[in-house]
A and B are shown apart, each in its own frame.
Chain A
Amino acid sequence: MSASLPTPPEIDRSDQADQSEIPSRVVARNEDADFWRRMLLALLAVSLSFVVAAVPILLSGKNPLLAYWALIRGAFGSVDSIAFALNKSTPYILAGVGVALCFRARVINIGGEGQIAVGGIAASWIALNAPGLPGSVLIPLALLGGGCAGAAWAAIAAGMRLVRGVHEVLGTLLLNFVGLLLVSEVLHGPMGEVGAGFPQSPLFPEQAWLPTLLPGTDLHAGILLALLAVVLCHLVFWHTPFGFRLRLLGSSDAAAAYAGVSVVRSLLSVMLIAGGLAGLAGAVEVLGVHYRLIQGFSGGFGFNAVAIALLASLNPIAVLPAGLFFGFLETGALAMQREIGVPSSLVFVIQGLAMIFVLCALGISLRRQRI
C-alpha cells in the first residue's frame, strides 16, 4: 500500500510546503546549499535597494556611486571600521538571538529595549561599586549582573502573563519605557557623575573595561560572547529537549500539552534566557563601548533586535549574518554621511529599503520550512 511512485534521483521538496497556511517566519534548514542561495538572493536584494535609493541620493545632488563606494569603504574599508561594525552588531546579535528563541515559542517579547537598559544599569553598578577587584573577576561579575538584571526584568513580564494573563507584548512594551526611565533616574540620582554636562555615571575603573581583541582598535570581546550565544542557542534550539519543547510550543499549544510540555516552565525559561541575553547586551555596551552608564546608551537596540531576529527567520544561527548585516550597513551608512554629506535621512531611507528588499527576496525563497 504504497503511494509513492517512481522516485526521481534528487530530492526536490521545493514546493512541498503546500500547507494553505505557513507561518511566515518558519525557516528552512540552513545547513545546505539553500543557505547560500538565500544569501545570494539577499545580496541581490541589497543591491536592488541601493539602485532604488540612488534616486533620492541623486536628487540631493550627490553622486550615488561615490556615495555607495563610501558606504562600502566605511563598512569594510579598514580594520577600524570593521571593528566598529562588529562592536555595533554585538548587542544586536546578543539580544536578537534571545528574541528569536522567544518568537519561536510564540512568546512575543519586544522588551529588549528595557532589558538592555537594566542590564546596563546592573553592570555599571557592579563596575562602579566593586573597587579593587581584578578585571578577571570584575568583568565576569558585571556581565553576569547585567544578564541577571535583564532576566529579572523579563521575568516580570513573564510573571504578569502567567499569573494575570497580561499579554507579553504589552508587558514587555510598557516595561521598556520604565526601564529606560530607570536609567535616567539612577543617573539623575545615585549613579550620576557629579557636575557632568550630561546624565552619565563616572567612568568605570579600567579593570572593568572589556578587553579589546585587536590592539589599536576598539573591537571589544563582546563579539565573542555574541558568537558564543548564537552557537549555544542554535545547539540548544535544534539539539536539546528544551529546544524541542520551544519548537512544540511554537506550533501548537495543544500539541505541546499532549507532549507533556508545561507552558509555564517553558515560557518562563525562554523569557529568562532572552532577558538574560539582552541584559548581557546592555552590560557589554557599557563595559565595552562607553566605559560608563550614559543616558540613551541603548537607543533603539531592542527594536533592532526584533527586526534582526525576524530577518533571520527566527533561526538562531541566522541571527549572526542578520545582525552583522545591520551593524555593517549602519556603520557604512554613517561613514557615507560623513564622507559624502548625504543627509542622514537618506541613511534611514537606505536602511528601510534594504530591509524591505531583503525581506521580499527571502520571502519568495521561503518555500521550504522547518519547525
Chain B
Amino acid sequence: MNYAVIIELLSASIRIATPLLLVALGGVISETGGTFAVGVEGMMLGGAFGGAVTVLVTQNILVGLLASMISGVLLAAIVAVATVRFRTDHMVTGLAVNILALGMTSFLLRGLFGGKTPVMVLPTIGTVRIPWLCNLPVAGPILFNEPLMTYLAFFLVIPVHLFLRRTRAGLTLRAVGENPSAAFSVGANPERIRAVAVMVCGAFAGLGGAVLSLQELGTFTDGMTNGRGFLALAAIIVGRWTPFRVMWGCLLIGAASALALNIQGWGLPMSSYVIQMTPYLIALAVLCGIGRKARMPAAIGKAFLRS
C-alpha cells in the first residue's frame, strides 16, 4: 500500500462516516431522551429525498438542506406523536416509519414528475480546502480537504456533547431517558421533551440523508440509504450514547468498510463474499476486544404515564 492508498483509505473512512455520524448524533439525542431511534433510516431517506427534490426545483443547496431537515422532522413527528401520545412501541413505530418513508419517497418522486422519473443531476456540495491546513502532510488531504457537510458533521459532535453534558436542558433530557418520573417531579414535561428530542433527531437524520443525495451523489434513487440508518444505530451502541465515542464508532464502521473494498484488490484466494464479511467481522472483533458492557438509558423504550 502506498501513500495515496492510505490517504484514500482514511479519507474514505471519513466520507463513509459522515452521513452515519449526522444520523447517529440525532439518534443519540433521541435515545438519550428515552426514545429508540429505529426510525432514523426512514428519516434519513426522507431527508435525502426532500433535499434532492428541493435542489432540483430551486437549484439552491442551502434551501435543499433546510428541506431535508424539514422532511426528517416531518417523519420524526409521526414517531413522536405515536410514541408519546399513543404510547406505541418505539421499535415497531420506527420500523413502520421506515417502510412508510420508503414508499412515500418513491411514490412522490414519480408523482411529482408526472409519472416519469426525472433524470436528476443536481449540483453537489463541493469540497472546501482549508487554506494552509490542507497542505499538511497526511492530515492535510485527509482532514482539511473535505466537503462542507463533513466538516459540519464532525463539528456538530462538540455542541451535541456540550449540550448533553454541560447544559441544564441536556441534563433534563438525560434524566427523561433515565427516569422520566424523576424529571417530571422536578418540573419537566417528559412527554414534550421526548417529542422535541425525536424531532431534533429527525432534523439530524434528514441532514445525514442530504449528505448522500446532495454531497455524495447529486441524485436521488429509491431506498438509497440502504440500511445506513441501522449502521448509525450500531455506532450509537458502540459509542455508548456519548457523542465523541459515537463519532469513533462511525469512523470504525467507515474504516472497516473502506478496508473491505481495498482488500478486494489484494487478490486474495477467496470470493468477494467472504471479503465483504470482513468489515462485520472486524467490527465484532473490535467490540469483543473493547469488551465493555453497554448500558442503555434506563427508561429507553418505556412510555411515561401520568396518573
A interface list, Cβ under 8 A from B: 17-25, 56, 59-60, 160, 164-167, 169-171, 173-175, 177-178, 181-182, 184-185, 188-189, 303, 306-307, 310-311, 313, 343-353, 355-356, 359-360, 362-364, 366
A178 to B271: give the CA distance in the assembly, Å: 14
With both beta carbons as reference points, the residue of chain A lying nearest to B275 in the complex is identified as A181
- Nearest CB in chain A: distance from B113 CB, A: 13
Residues of A within 8 A of B304 (CB): 20-21
**Residue contact A56 to B90, C-beta cutoff 8 Å:** no
**Residue contact A17 to B305, C-beta cutoff 8 Å:** yes
Beyond A166-B287, A347-B103, A348-B103, is A311–B92 a contact (Cβ under 8 Å)?
A: yes
Residues of B within 8 A of A189 (CB): 271
**Residue contact B280 to A21, C-beta cutoff 8 Å:** no
**Residue contact A20 to B181, C-beta cutoff 8 Å:** yes
A133 to B147: give the CA distance in the assembly, Å: 62
**Residue contact A349 to B100, C-beta cutoff 8 Å:** yes
Beyond A303-B95, A352-B103, A362-B88, is A166–B284 a contact (Cβ under 8 Å)?
A: yes
Closest 4 CB pairs of A and B: A348-B103, A352-B100, A345-B106, A355-B96
The count of chain B contact residues (Cβ–Cβ below 8 Å) is 60
- Of the residues A165, A185, A359, contact of B92 by C-beta under 8 Å: A359
**B111 within 8 A of partner (CB):** yes
With both beta carbons as reference points, the residue of chain A lying nearest to B249 in the complex is identified as A170
Residues of B within 8 A of A167 (CB): 237, 293-294
**B128 within 8 A of partner (CB):** no
Beyond A23-B302, A56-B107, is A366–B271 a contact (Cβ under 8 Å)?
A: no
Beyond A22-B305, A360-B82, A363-B87, is A165–B107 a contact (Cβ under 8 Å)?
A: no
Residues of A within 8 A of B301 (CB): 23-25
With both beta carbons as reference points, the residue of chain B lying nearest to A114 in the complex is identified as B280
A199 to B83: give the CA distance in the assembly, Å: 42
**Residue contact A360 to B273, C-beta cutoff 8 Å:** no
Residues of B within 8 A of A364 (CB): 86-87
A353 to B104: give the CA distance in the assembly, Å: 11
**Residue contact A20 to B306, C-beta cutoff 8 Å:** yes
How many interface contacts (CB-CB < 8 Å) are there between A and B? 182
A189 to B274: give the CA distance in the assembly, Å: 11
Residues of B within 8 A of A349 (CB): 100, 103-104, 107
Residues of A within 8 A of B44 (CB): none
- Of the residues A184, A344, A348, A356, contact of B273 by C-beta under 8 Å: A184
A171 to B280: give the CA distance in the assembly, Å: 10
- Nearest CB in chain B: distance from A338 CB, A: 17
Residues of A within 8 A of B85 (CB): 360
Residues of B within 8 A of A348 (CB): 99-100, 102-104, 106
**B213 within 8 A of partner (CB):** no
Residues of B within 8 A of A171 (CB): 284, 287
B283-307 CB mask vs A (1 if < 8 Å, else 0) is: 1100110011110000101111111
- Nearest CB in chain A: distance from B48 CB, A: 15
With both beta carbons as reference points, the residue of chain A lying nearest to B89 in the complex is identified as A310
A306 to B92: give the CA distance in the assembly, Å: 8
**B97 within 8 A of partner (CB):** yes
B214-257 CB mask vs A (1 if < 8 Å, else 0) is: 00000000100000001001100110000000000000000000
Q: In the complex, given contacts A184-B273, A359-B88, A363-B87, what are 7 additional A-B residue pairs having Cβ atoms less than 8 angstroms apart? A: A23-B303, A24-B83, A170-B287, A345-B105, A352-B100, A352-B102, A363-B82
B interface list, Cβ under 8 A from A: 78, 82-83, 85-93, 95-107, 110-111, 179-181, 184, 222, 230, 233-234, 237-238, 271, 273-274, 276-277, 280-281, 283-284, 287-288, 291-294, 299, 301-307
The 16 sampled A-B contact pairs (Cβ below 8 Å) are A21-B302, A23-B303, A24-B87, A24-B301, A56-B111, A165-B294, A170-B294, A174-B283, A185-B273, A306-B92, A306-B95, A343-B107, A353-B100, A356-B100, A360-B88, A364-B86
**Residue contact B100 to A160, C-beta cutoff 8 Å:** no
- Nearest CB in chain B: distance from A50 CB, A: 14
Residues of B within 8 A of A60 (CB): 107, 111
- Of the residues A160, A173, A178, A353, contact of B234 by C-beta under 8 Å: A173
**Residue contact A185 to B271, C-beta cutoff 8 Å:** yes
Residue from A165, A173, A352, A359 having most chain B Cβ neighbours under 10 A? A352
Residue from B89, B95, B271, B287 having most chain A Cβ neighbours under 10 A? B89
Residues of B within 8 A of A173 (CB): 230, 234
**Residue contact A178 to B107, C-beta cutoff 8 Å:** no
Beyond A20-B181, A351-B99, A363-B86, is A165–B292 a contact (Cβ under 8 Å)?
A: yes
A366 to B292: give the CA distance in the assembly, Å: 36
**Residue contact A356 to B103, C-beta cutoff 8 Å:** no
- Nearest CB in chain A: distance from B223 CB, A: 10
- Nearest CB in chain B: distance from A322 CB, A: 10
- Of the residues A17, A347, A352, A362, contact of B96 by C-beta under 8 Å: A352
Residues of B within 8 A of A355 (CB): 92, 95-96, 99
A350 to B299: give the CA distance in the assembly, Å: 31
**Residue contact A165 to B291, C-beta cutoff 8 Å:** yes
- Nearest CB in chain B: distance from A92 CB, A: 13
Residues of A within 8 A of B307 (CB): 18, 20
- Of the residues B180, B280, B303, contact of A174 by C-beta under 8 Å: B280
- Of the residues B100, B184, B237, contact of A170 by C-beta under 8 Å: B237
**Residue contact B103 to A345, C-beta cutoff 8 Å:** yes
Residues of B within 8 A of A177 (CB): 277, 280
A348 to B238: give the CA distance in the assembly, Å: 31
A167 to B97: give the CA distance in the assembly, Å: 25
Residues of A within 8 A of B102 (CB): 345, 348, 352
Residues of A within 8 A of B273 (CB): 181-182, 184-185, 188
